[in-house]
Amino acid sequence: MSKSTENFKITNPIHFLALGFGSGLLPKAPGTYGTLAAIPLYLLLAPLSINNYLLIVIIMSFAGIYICGKAAKDSGVHDHGAIVWDEIVGFLITMFMMPTTWQTIAVGFILFRIFDIFKPWPISFVDKNLHGGLGIMVDDILAGLAALACMHLIF
């Protein structure tokens, strides 16, 4: 990773969450590792009712504004690649109301990563124009919603 991670402290609970339980510190493609880290969390949440799943994802989204913003400020880098809480939330959005099978998880993973990496409009607009924790979160929320729409068309 080209940007230093020395300002992150894995013992800091905010950094631990922002770094996707440490997955964002892995070399090369931290967003992909962050999305992989979301899979066990999804498997824990999947049996919940639709309302409870949605409530938890909404809470995680709002908390993510603070978590990602604080971690970015502490690192001195806006949207540092190691900050992957937004990918975790984006994947959970992708999987909303989907059956829990290895096929849906695999397709959801691939679709979310495509939307997150390539950032088609309006995701790219948000990515360039919103800053701070809100900006870090919203582009991945939009990527998750786009992937979710595709998932519901496919499945």
Q: Residues near 95 by Cβ (< 8 Å), separated by ≥ 6?
A: 42, 46, 104, 105, 108, 148, 151
Each residue's pLDDT tens digit, 5-61: 888 999 999 999 999 999 999 989 999 999 999 999 999 999 999 999 999 999 999
Domain limits of the chain? Answer: 13-154
Q: Which two tokens stand for residue 119?
A: 């950032």
Q: What is the pLDDT of residue 6?
A: 85
pLDDT tier for residue 143 given thresholds of 50, 70 and 90: very high
Rounded to two decimals, what is the model's pTM?
Answer: 0.95
- At residue 66, does pLDDT exceed 80? yes
Closest listed residue to residue 152, CA positions, set 100, 95, 88, 105: 95
- What is the spatial distance between Cα 65 and Cα 75, in angstroms, rounded to a whole number? 15
Q: What is the pLDDT of residue 7?
A: 86
Q: Which two tokens stand for residue 74?
A: 């502490």
Tokens 């402290």 sit at which residue?
9
The mean pLDDT value for 61-85 works out to 95
The mean pLDDT value for 73-90 works out to 94
How many residues are given for the chain?
Answer: 155
Over its C-alpha atoms, the chain yields an Rg (Å, rounded) of 14
